[in-house]
Chains A and B, each alone.
Chain A
Amino acid sequence: MPEAFLEIKEMTVAYGDNVIMKDVSFTVNKEDVFIIMGGSGCGKSTLLSVLTGLKQPAKGTEIFDGKVFWGNGATKDDRDALMRKAGILYQSGALWSSMTLAENIALPLEQYTKLSKPEIRDLVALKLDLVGLGGFQDYYPAEISGGMKKRAGLARALALDPKIVFFDEPSAGLDPISSKNLDDLILQIKDNLHTTIVMVTHELASIFAIGTNSIFLDAQTKTVIAKGNPTDLLKNPPNKTLEHFLTRGEK
């Protein structure tokens, strides 16, 4: 029986009176590669903001590693403490441009661990090695390519050995080879570090290559209209909208 890591129960997300999505419920199990998919403007990135504590839902509960994250009196301090178990890779890497790659990765380690400077240096080197950027410690984000920025962003997301990593459109702006390499890297990280992955994407190649579970958000009904393994969903699509999406509009 798979163990749940993230549970979302009857969540409604809104900007003021404008409801973005309603009655969203799903469970992300440990070591899942969970895909949040849907067309443009369906609220995928907004949902990710809610899951990572940046935006408060209008209604509903989020249970994060067995503890309440949203709902039932959970405070910001509770969420901050839980978010230390999470890493986030933003769409453009979101590296701090005034710091070198090493300083970007060292910051969370300096902030939240009592390790010595040489130990932090070794850990920074390891994280960069893991994403294939060994030796790039002293480079600034402006000096590396877009794909490298994403990998460096992933190294920073992995700095504190998170139990879960959230990815916001990791393949956006990458060529097919870099995109495939990033998918492989995500799988290696998941397999070797036993990390749970939650990914917002609409890249079909990535969805089928690495997704083990998924939800499909529909912009029209503003809710989840399909759940399950993406490959299974392609074989037996539960509705026309999803079939249309998964076949790039060919069916």
Chain B
Amino acid sequence: MSARAELVKNEKNASVELILSEDWLLENGASDNDQNIFDLFEKNDFKQIKLDGKQIGRWDSRLVAFLVHVISLCKKNNIEYRLIDFPKGIDPLLDLAFSVPEHVSPPKGDTTQSFLSYLGNVALYSWAATQRVALFCVKIYEALIRLITKKAVVRKVDIWFEIQDAGVNAFLIVSLICFLVGLILAFVGSIQLKMFGAQIYVSSLVAIAVTRVMGAIMGGVIMAGRTGASYAATLGSMQVNEEIDALKTMGVSPFDFLVLPRVLALSLMMPLLTVYADFMGIMGGAFVGIFMLGLSPEDYFRMTLKALFMKNILIGIVHGTAYGIIIAVCGCYQGINCGRNASAVGKATTAAVVYSIVWMTVATAILTFIFSVIGV
């Protein structure tokens, strides 16, 4: 039977009794009138109460939790209470529960704010964040100078490991995605070009689009999700485990030891990955051109070569290098500034990917503007 509590008022002698009966066990279902009883205590129309536990069957901490609530209400509303015929073992638990006074949290202050103050706070926060990122970049630059002047504490093996991880180990996923992107580009383009009998220009379309920007963008998105996220998670976990503190207290700069190898690796590998992504994109386009549009391989690749301008390839490489630096900085920044718990690592990883992609888009806009101004 489920827990039962009944408040009995004796009008004759104006006494009030709370009679508890049945089994008070966690495994039983919820009781429906607890709240009504608690509300009666708040009304404050009695000053004394007798708590009767004679009819209680089996019990566990559910009974104790109920009694703690009732006794707290009695204390709060200055109601005198008496416990009668409760099972043995209840008293020590109540003593233990009330042995340490309740902690009172300091008031958190007024958290509501007007739209204008919200806007002001956002602006201040953004400015402070920009300063932090700028300082972070300056520290990376200083670490690079230390590396060149051979004053940086960095292990060559770490740099090679990061280069391998950001380079060769990413080949498979870059191959797959960029091949498919080239394929999609060619397929979508061919639908329009077919209408004019100009399918052969699919090769030029794919070659120009992929080399100028698409190869770099796809490579960047893949590396943001793959390597940038991994940097944030690795450095974030090191922050949680106090490994970064250990480096600092040993006099080793985490920028030399952790950030620099990653930034170097990604900024060196991204241009190479971009060229490789371009190649795989062209292969994807060729797959559609040759097997679906019926073009001969000779014609397809001849037209592709005609559309391959060194200018476009270099623009793609510049984009790729910029993306590499952005992804590495975002990943390392979020990791180094991660909080000290598991959920903070998750947030840092998400932020690393989101900021990488946002800043890649901004960088693309800026580079496109610059290239159009200088006429390339």
Taking A97-B344, A114-B30, A126-B65 as known contacts, 13 extra A-B pairs with beta carbons closer than 8 A to each other, sorted by chain A number, are: A116-B30, A119-B62, A125-B65, A125-B68, A126-B97, A133-B103, A134-B103, A135-B104, A136-B103, A140-B341, A192-B92, A192-B96, A194-B89
Query: Do B99 and A132 have beta carbons less than 8 Å apart?
Result: yes
B99 contacts across to A, CB distance below 8 A: 132
Binary per-residue interface labels of chain A (75-117) against chain B in the complex, 1 for a CB within 8 Å, 0 otherwise:
0000000000000000000001110000000000100011110
B339 contacts across to A, CB distance below 8 A: 142
Query: Do A192 and B89 have beta carbons less than 8 Å apart?
Result: yes
Query: What is the predominant secondary structure among interface residues of chain A facing chain B?
Result: loop
A125 to B97, CA, bound (A): 9
Query: Do B26 and A188 have beta carbons less than 8 Å apart?
Result: no
A160 contacts across to B, CB distance below 8 A: 26
Query: Do B61 and A126 have beta carbons less than 8 Å apart?
Result: yes
List residues of B whose CB falls within 8 A of some A CB. 26-31, 34-35, 60-62, 64-66, 68-69, 89, 92-93, 96-105, 339-344
- Contact flag A97-B343 (CB < 8 Å), given A125-B65, A126-B64, A188-B96: yes
* CB-based nearest B residue for A194: B89
A114 contacts across to B, CB distance below 8 A: 28-30
B98 contacts across to A, CB distance below 8 A: 129
Q: Is A130 an interface residue (CB 8 A)?
A: yes
Nearest Cβ distance between residue B83 and chain A, in whole angstroms? 16
A136 to B35, CA, bound (A): 23
* CB-based nearest B residue for A95: B341
By CB atoms of chain A within 10 A, which of B28, B35, B69, B101 has the most? Answer: B69
Query: What is the predominant secondary structure among interface residues of chain B facing chain A?
Result: loop
List residues of A whose CB falls within 8 A of some B CB. 96-98, 109, 113-116, 118-119, 122-123, 125-127, 129-130, 132-136, 138-142, 158, 160-161, 188, 191-194
A98 contacts across to B, CB distance below 8 A: 341-343
A132 contacts across to B, CB distance below 8 A: 99-100
A207 to B102, CA, bound (A): 31
Nearest Cβ distance between residue A157 and chain B, in whole angstroms? 13
Q: Select B102's contact among A96, A135, A141, A161, beta carbons within 8 Å.
A: A135
B96 contacts across to A, CB distance below 8 A: 129-130, 188, 192
- Contact flag A191-B92 (CB < 8 Å), given A125-B65, A125-B68, A126-B97: yes
A142 contacts across to B, CB distance below 8 A: 339-341
Between A and B, 21 residue pairs with Cβ closer than 8 Å are A98-B341, A109-B26, A114-B29, A115-B26, A115-B30, A119-B30, A119-B34, A119-B65, A122-B68, A123-B61, A125-B65, A126-B65, A126-B68, A129-B97, A133-B100, A133-B103, A134-B103, A140-B341, A188-B96, A192-B89, A193-B61
Q: Select B61's contact among A96, A138, A161, beta carbons within 8 Å.
A: A161
A123 contacts across to B, CB distance below 8 A: 26, 61-62, 65
Q: Select B341's contact among A113, A119, A136, A141, beta carbons within 8 Å.
A: A141
B62 contacts across to A, CB distance below 8 A: 115, 119, 123
Nearest Cβ distance between residue B337 and chain A, in whole angstroms? 15
B68 contacts across to A, CB distance below 8 A: 122, 125-126, 129
* CB-based nearest A residue for B99: A132
Nearest Cβ distance between residue B72 and chain A, in whole angstroms? 9
A233 to B35, CA, bound (A): 54
Query: Do B61 and A127 have beta carbons less than 8 Å apart?
Result: yes
A115 contacts across to B, CB distance below 8 A: 26, 29-30, 62
Nearest Cβ distance between residue A195 and chain B, in whole angstroms? 11
Nearest Cβ distance between residue A247 and chain B, in whole angstroms? 33
A65 to B101, CA, bound (A): 36
Nearest Cβ distance between residue B118 and chain A, in whole angstroms? 24
* CB-based nearest B residue for A161: B60
* CB-based nearest B residue for A185: B96
* CB-based nearest B residue for A97: B341
A96 contacts across to B, CB distance below 8 A: 342
* CB-based nearest A residue for B89: A192
* CB-based nearest A residue for B341: A97
Q: Select B66's contact among A122, A140, A158, beta carbons within 8 Å.
A: A122
Nearest Cβ distance between residue A143 and chain B, in whole angstroms? 10
A134 contacts across to B, CB distance below 8 A: 97, 100-103
* CB-based nearest B residue for A191: B92
A118 contacts across to B, CB distance below 8 A: 34-35
A97 to B96, CA, bound (A): 27
B341 contacts across to A, CB distance below 8 A: 97-98, 140-142
Nearest Cβ distance between residue A226 and chain B, in whole angstroms? 34
